[in-house]
Amino acid sequence: MRASSLLTTSLLSALLPASAFLQPTLSVISTRLHSNVVGIQEDLTFSPPNTAETISEQLCADAASKMKRVMVPISSDVSDTGYVGISYIHWEGRKKNQQQSLCPLLLVHGFDSSSLEYRRLGPQLANLGIDVYCVDLLGWGYTQLDGVKSFSAQAKVDALGGFWKTVGNNAQVVVGGASLGGAAVIEFAAQNLYNPQNNENIGCVRGTVLIDAQGFVDGIGPMSFLPAPLAKLGIQVLKSTPLRETANQMSYYDPATYATEDALNVGRLHCLRDGWDEGMLSFMQSGGFRPKEKVSLISVPSLVLWGRQDGILDGKEFANKFIQTMPEAELKWVEECGHVPHLEKPVETAEYIYEFLNEERVRPERKDTGVQSVFDGLLSLLK
């Protein structure tokens, strides 16, 4: 195969998942941190992305205005400082009267995307009373790029764990991911399954939501085997308008309505940041996520959502395979929908997720202390 053909095939297979840095000085580090809540250090060097010049969608502007970046703990193999900046958007659930407690939802975007991918789904879920945290994977979105030594798949999963420990206090959570984000969720969940009988590692993941997820294809295909010079050339093409437009058109059941210039610009905006190229090269050379052998380990309740007309990941093959492999999974089809239900059918997708989170088996379990049990007993006597 000619190098140009190999490059094009590799790029599309990466973008559509079908199958050194400068070390900050101590002064920079000190200006990067700001403690606004106990245990949370906001990154003062961060500015939300400016969408006004190229994107007209109001939901995107609203989502961007909510974006923050916090410093989360990470291995010194990833950052010498032991911290890295992770960007995220939080939509606070609008609690209804007498509404029972629901697990918060932590959502992960797809390949080389950002938390802006959930700009339509996030508000819908919040209106239903769900606390939603949409997080950027390390190296993608609007995460810290300078001073980071590795953007490997494992570094991404570790940073996701550090984020939830920092922002969510490692509380019980349902974790969701779309497309390649599903692979990240599977790897994270497999390491953090909720199990109150395990005193050493109770875990925090009460359930998972997999949206047209990549779970049975390891790695990133030919991209990981390209020589560095060709890989660097490919990375430049990866953020090009023509390739992104091709991916855009393939992602929707109704491209005339949804594969707009706005959609193209939202998906490409973060690629223009300084350091994005090096971060992508690091991820490619790491070989990508390897979720295939971990799917069967996900023993917590799981919701598999799939666009009926997904032209990228065939639901007849992959959606049903999740149901056959995961012990507590249920499947919901999203009709007249392609690869991205959260963008093409956000209302229906939100309703499915809300119904799932309301199931008794997914609700957060109360961990009573001895004092609380005595107190509850006294209250019952007084009634």
pLDDT tens digit string along 258-288? 999 999 999 999 999 999 999 998 998 888 9
Mean pLDDT of all residues belonging to the chain: 85
Four-residue CA torsion sign, 32, 36, 41, 46: negative
**Predicted confidence (pLDDT) at residue 8 exceeds the cutoff of 50:** no
Burial code (b: 16+ CB inside 10 Å, e: under 16) for 83-92 equals: bbbbbbbbbe
Output the CA angle 352-186-169, nearest 5 degrees. 85
Average pLDDT rounded to a whole number, residues 55-82: 96
Q: Which residue reads 């992959």 in tokens?
A: 318
Cα-based distances in Å from 60 to 52, 67, 122, 253, 373: 9, 11, 11, 21, 46
- 188 vs 327: CA distance, rounded Å: 18
Q: In this predicted model, what pLDDT tens digit does every residue of 330-346 receive, in sequence order? A: 999 999 999 999 999 99
In terms of DSSP H, where are the helices of 255-337?
A: 255-258, 261-268, 276-286, 315-325
Q: In this predicted model, what pLDDT tens digit does every residue of 301-341 receive, in sequence order? A: 999 999 999 999 999 999 999 999 999 999 999 999 999 99
Residues 6 or more apart from 316 whose CB is under 8 A from it? none
**Predicted confidence (pLDDT) at residue 33 exceeds the cutoff of 70:** no
| Predicted confidence band of residue 40 (pLDDT cuts 50, 70, 90) | confident
CATH architecture for the domain at 3-382: 3-Layer(aba) Sandwich (3.40)
pLDDT, position 95:
79
Can you give the pTM of this predicted structure? 0.85
Q: In this predicted model, what pLDDT tens digit does every residue of 145-183 receive, in sequence order? A: 999 999 999 999 999 999 999 999 999 999 999 999 999
Query: Which of 19-23, 182-186, 199-203, 253-257 is predicted least confidently?
Result: 19-23
CA-derived radius of gyration, the chain: 21
Cα-based distances in Å from 254 to 248, 260, 333: 11, 11, 16
More reliable by pLDDT, 349 or 19: 349
Average pLDDT rounded to a whole number, residues 121-144: 97
